[in-house]
A and B are shown apart, each in its own frame.
Chain A
Amino acid sequence: MNAIYLAGLLVGIAGTLVIDARLRLFFWADARRAAVVLVLGVAGFLLWDTAGVRLGIFFEGNRNLLLGVDIAPEVPVEEVFLLVLLCTMTMNAWGMVCRVLTRRTIRTSRTARAPRPDRMRTG
């Protein structure tokens, strides 16, 4: 059972990579930019996590579901993978929404430019 949390996270990350590759959203849109965003994002959130641990706000719990490897006191290695998943999922979602909104904008502007003699243009 110790690997179950990590296994779940890896499945999640694999899922985001498949969607990314299929739709060219993040790494498959611009690998260099994605790498920088991912590294900075994960590093930033790890700092936030460390602050929370140092202040005694949160800590590791049920070790039966964790590998037992810590990257820092009370910060399990699984946390790195959780943050990777958080970041890749976010950038995939943002990429998809940008694409939908861009298509809508193009469609709207095309119909707005089309001549409509039967109707006043409301702009």
Chain B
Amino acid sequence: MLTYLTLALVVLVPVCGLALVALARAGRVPLVAALVTVAVMVAATAVFDSAIVATGIVGYDRGRISGVRIGAAPIEDFAYPVAVALALPALWHLLPARRPRPKA
């Protein structure tokens, strides 16, 4: 029986691994900024996700989650803000930039 923690790690480990490699090659600023963004998004998730869970908008199978919560949110949910804060900046860096317009 696959638990939420297993699912979270199966997605998180390769995504973060690849993203960190891409960000490291992007440079110190993009990499450090992404790590700061992880902290920001984890904090935001603690607030928003707790509200979503507390109002009952989403339900969880209690047999599949560890039971550890931050606020009302299962700790496994925090894989999302970690992934988004690393993967999206990495993706931005990997895509070609548009040609800069001459400054007005």
Residues of A within 8 A of B (CB): 5, 30, 32-33, 36-37, 40-41, 44-45, 48, 51-52, 55-62, 65-66, 78, 82, 86-87, 89-91, 93-94, 97-98, 101-102, 105
Which residues from B are CB-within-8-Å of A86?
A: 41, 80-81, 84
Chain A: CB-nearest residue to B60: A58
Supply 14 further A-B pairs (C-beta < 8 A) apart from A45-B83, A56-B64, A57-B65: A33-B96, A36-B91, A44-B87, A56-B61, A58-B4, A61-B58, A89-B44, A93-B85, A94-B30, A94-B89, A94-B92, A98-B29, A98-B33, A101-B33
Question: Which residue from A5, A41, A56, A59 sits with its C-beta under 8 Å from B91?
Answer: A41
Interface residues of B in 36-64 (CB under 8 A from A): 36-37, 40-41, 44, 52, 55-61, 64
Summarize B's interface: helix, strand, loop or mixed.
helix
Which residues from A are CB-within-8-Å of B4?
A: 52, 57-58
Which residues from A are CB-within-8-Å of B34?
A: 94
Q: Does B13 contact A (CB under 8 A)?
A: no
